[in-house]
């Protein structure tokens, strides 16, 4: 340790600082790379957490313990019955002639668990199908046949534009108009929302995959597909007057009344893409004449409140898929999977930290605004 000459001492001291600097530099570089990948250095980069924040903002309030979208709904249970026709398309077990039980959820679009059923243009069905081969298929489907916008970013802009203006408590019409002008494809959705007749029940509504998936059969053949759950319950239109008069919770009441009389059924109709059909843009519909195969039926037998039902703690992530089914190149699927996970984590965290009495049915009255 004790050097008698000063020159080697100086030299070795200089040589000590250089490597220390190098070590500091290497560690700092790795930390920076990590922070960059995490998105911490780029506050403007759209991440799943920031998308979820935007959804919460547009909801006007965070409803603790509830889904940040499609917050109002009811748990259902039943089974899928394959008819064997899907076997040529996909090796998913449930397409065989077997019964596959599911835990499902019927919901309406919107971020409030107190949303008014008679104002909800979008209705939904979500299923978690548990095959007897141990595989799982989760689906979250909507009543619109195509998506409102053509990209993840556009949907983010739509969400942001719909955020309530603090001054009025309503979306700023200027922002909504600017959004619509920037996304011409939205006009088609607005037209659908305005002119398509409303049906009277969850039971007589069709639910669509909207996004494109890829089926593969045991021979390795692949098809891009979309599917639709087509109600066997006859369509009955609901007039604007009937809707005005309907109860805020008429969908749940109607569902329970129908289930008291017997199960409700939908046919699963798979549409197969032809070359040139858009895979990546869910706002583009495929021509009517595409090949369609009815592969089985969804049968709902019972319902239970979402506060205590088995569907409450399920994340209906559309990318949890069995063998024989994969996501397509549609970028919305990856974004949905990422954002649903954040929404799920937050609502489970709300429950764990005791902030979600209403969501788990342990509060006597509606939650109050924070």
Partner 1 sequence: MNDTANVPENHAPLNHVESCPDPRHFNFTARVLHWSMALMILAMLFVGIGMVSSLSLRPALISLHQPLGIAILLLVIVRLINRLRHRPPPLPADLPAVQVFAAKASHWLLYALMFAMPLIGWCMLSVGGYPVTMFNGFALPAIAPHNATVYAVFRSAHTWLALLLFATVLMHLAAALFHAWVRRDDVFASMARGYVTNAKTLGEEKEHENSANE
Please identify every residue annotated as catalytic.
Answer: 70
Q: Which of the residues 91 through 150 are near partner 1 (CB under 8 A)?
A: 134-136
Q: How many helices (H) and strands (E) does the chain have?
A: 8, 12
Q: How far apart are CA 131 and CA 166, in angstroms?
A: 48
| Residue 104 binding: pick among ligand HEM, partner 1, none (C-beta 5-8 Å cut-off by kind) | none
| Residue 135 binding: pick among partner 1, ligand HEM, none (C-beta 5-8 Å cut-off by kind) | partner 1
C-beta separation of 95 from 89 below 8 A: yes
C-beta separation of 206 from 234 below 8 A: no
| Residue 268 binding: pick among ligand HEM, partner 1, none (C-beta 5-8 Å cut-off by kind) | none
334 scored as a contact of partner 1 (CB under 8 A) = yes
Q: Which residues pair with 297 in a beta bridge?
A: 81, 267
85 scored as a contact of partner 1 (CB under 8 A) = no
Q: How far apart are CA 227 and CA 219, in angstroms?
A: 22
Interface with ligand HEM (CB under 6 A): 51, 55, 67-70, 73, 105, 107, 124, 126, 140-142, 147, 152, 155, 209-211, 282, 315-316, 332, 335-336, 339-341, 343-345, 347
**Consecutive H or E run containing 77:** strand 72-82
349 scored as a contact of partner 1 (CB under 8 A) = yes
47 scored as a contact of partner 1 (CB under 8 A) = yes
State in angstroms the smallest separation of the CB of 48 from partner 1.
6
Of the candidates 358, 256, 343, the residue with the CA atom closest to the CA atom of residue 69: 343
C-beta separation of 176 from 161 below 8 A: yes
| Residue 49 binding: pick among partner 1, ligand HEM, none (C-beta 5-8 Å cut-off by kind) | partner 1
314 scored as a contact of partner 1 (CB under 8 A) = yes
Nearer to partner 1, 8 or 173 (CB): 8
C-beta separation of 74 from 105 below 8 A: yes
DSSP state, residue 171: B
Q: How far apart are CA 175 and CA 155, in angstroms?
A: 14
Of the candidates 106, 110, 89, the residue with the CA atom closest to the CA atom of residue 222: 89
| Residue 352 binding: pick among partner 1, ligand HEM, none (C-beta 5-8 Å cut-off by kind) | partner 1
Nearer to ligand HEM, 189 or 340 (CB): 340
Residues 6+ apart with CB under 8 A from 217: 87, 88, 89, 90, 91, 324
Q: List contacts with partner 1 (CB under 8 A).
A: 1, 3, 8, 12, 16, 19-20, 22-24, 26-27, 30-31, 33-34, 37-39, 46-49, 51, 134-136, 152, 312-315, 319-320, 322-323, 327, 331, 333-335, 337-339, 341-342, 344-345, 348-349, 351-353
């Amino acid at each position: 340790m004790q050097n008698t000459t000063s020159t080697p001492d100086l030299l070795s001291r200089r040589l000590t600082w250089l490597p220390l600097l190098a070590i500091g530099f290497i560690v700092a570089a790795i930390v920076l790379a990590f922070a960059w990948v995490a998105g911490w250095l780029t506050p403007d980069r759209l991440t799943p957490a920031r998308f979820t924040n935007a959804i919460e903002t547009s909801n006007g309030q965070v409803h603790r313990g509830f889904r940040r979208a499609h917050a109002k709904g009811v748990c259902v249970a039943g089974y899928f019955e394959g008819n064997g026709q899907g076997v040529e398309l996909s090796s998913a077990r449930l397409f065989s002639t077997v019964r596959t039980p599911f835990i499902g959820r019927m919901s309406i679009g919107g971020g409030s668990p107190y949303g008014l059923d008679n104002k909800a243009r979008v209705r939904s069905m979500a299923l978690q199908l548990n095959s007897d081969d141990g595989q799982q298929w989760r689906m979250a489907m909507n009543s619109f046949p195509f998506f409102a916008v053509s990209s993840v970013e556009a949907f983010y802009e739509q969400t942001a534009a719909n955020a309530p203006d603090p001054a009025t408590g309503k979306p700023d019409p200027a922002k909504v108009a600017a959004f619509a002008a920037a996304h011409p494809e939205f006009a088609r959705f607005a037209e659908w929302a305005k002119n398509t007749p409303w049906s009277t029940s969850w039971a007589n509504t069709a639910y669509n995959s909207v996004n494109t998936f890829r089926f593969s059969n045991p021979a390795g053949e692949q098809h891009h597909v979309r599917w639709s759950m087509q109600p066997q319950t006859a369509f009955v239109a609901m007039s604007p007057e009937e809707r005005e008069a309907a109860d805020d919770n008429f969908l749940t009441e109607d569902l329970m009344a129908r289930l008291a009389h017997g199960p409700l059924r939908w046919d699963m109709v798979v549409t197969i893409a032809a070359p040139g059909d858009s895979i990546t843009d869910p706002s583009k519909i495929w021509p009517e004449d595409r090949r369609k195969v009815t592969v089985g039926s969804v049968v709902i037998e019972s319902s239970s409140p979402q506060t205590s039902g088995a569907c409450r703690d399920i994340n209906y992530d559309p990318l949890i898929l069995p063998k024989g089914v994969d996501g397509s190149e549609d970028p919305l699927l990856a974004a949905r999977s990422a954002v649903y996970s954040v929404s799920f984590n937050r609502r489970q965290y709300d429950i764990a930290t005791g902030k979600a009495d209403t969501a788990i049915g342990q509060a006597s009255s509606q939650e109050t605004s924070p």
